[in-house]
Amino acid sequence: MGSRPLDLSNFKAVIIDVDDTLSLTEEGCFHLENEVLRQMGRPAMTRHVHKTTWGSDTATAIARRSPGVDVEKFQRLWPIVHQEFLIDNRVDVIPPQNLEAIDKLRRSGLKIFLLTSRTYAELKHMMEPDHELANRVDSFYYWDNMEYHKPDPRAFLHIEKDHGLKPSECVYAGDSPSDAAASTKAGLSFIACLESGLRPTSEFEDYEVLAFIDHFADVANVHTN
């Protein structure tokens, strides 16, 4: 995994998932959510509970992670604590090698898109003009500007319609079986990023995977025309 160059010469775009693909998110969110719970006077959740419920939207997941929690109060506090964690560089850290990988993909002529189930509020800091992704990503696709959302395969129609791309011309890099299901059903090729350590290769056995990579940066080890 990650040792053989990926042949992306037949593609025009690489679409990238955010959480646990471009940025390792789960651990940071575990600490963030526990801090919100602490401020609410509630006991901390375990890492096991967080991992096993990871991938659901926050409102749904927190009700399982902290039974009896006031979900509305949690959602009011979350953005405040999230901002504090951003300032302290404790969440949404994008490693330099991942940025270098995007630069290499762009130099090879590939378009770069981000597609995530995050809301605008959860993603807006990454779309600021002074963010390190500003000049690296052609378009951002997130919950608020999409009609369809993963795992619905129609989520990828937004990119195809906006940019005149065929599904066969796009590859999606993600970390979960639901990413694989959505993209392959939509006719895209799929690259499974295993960097988070949350999912083994066996969880992808029902899907056609172009490549497994140990680190997102490995996606830039490509052959292009």
Domain limits, the chain: 6-24+93-223, 26-87
Distances (CA, A) of 156 to 11, 13, 75, 91: 15, 12, 28, 26
Looking at the whole model, is its pTM more than 0.75?
Answer: yes
pLDDT in tens, the chain (225 residues): 444 567 898 999 999 999 999 999 999 999 999 999 999 999 999 999 999 999 888 889 999 999 999 999 999 999 999 999 999 999 999 999 999 999 999 999 999 999 999 989 889 999 999 999 999 999 999 999 999 999 999 999 999 999 999 999 999 999 999 999 999 999 999 999 999 999 999 999 999 999 999 999 999 885 444
The domain defined by 6-24+93-223 folds into Rossmann fold (3.40.50)
Q: Which H or E run includes 213?
A: strand 211-213
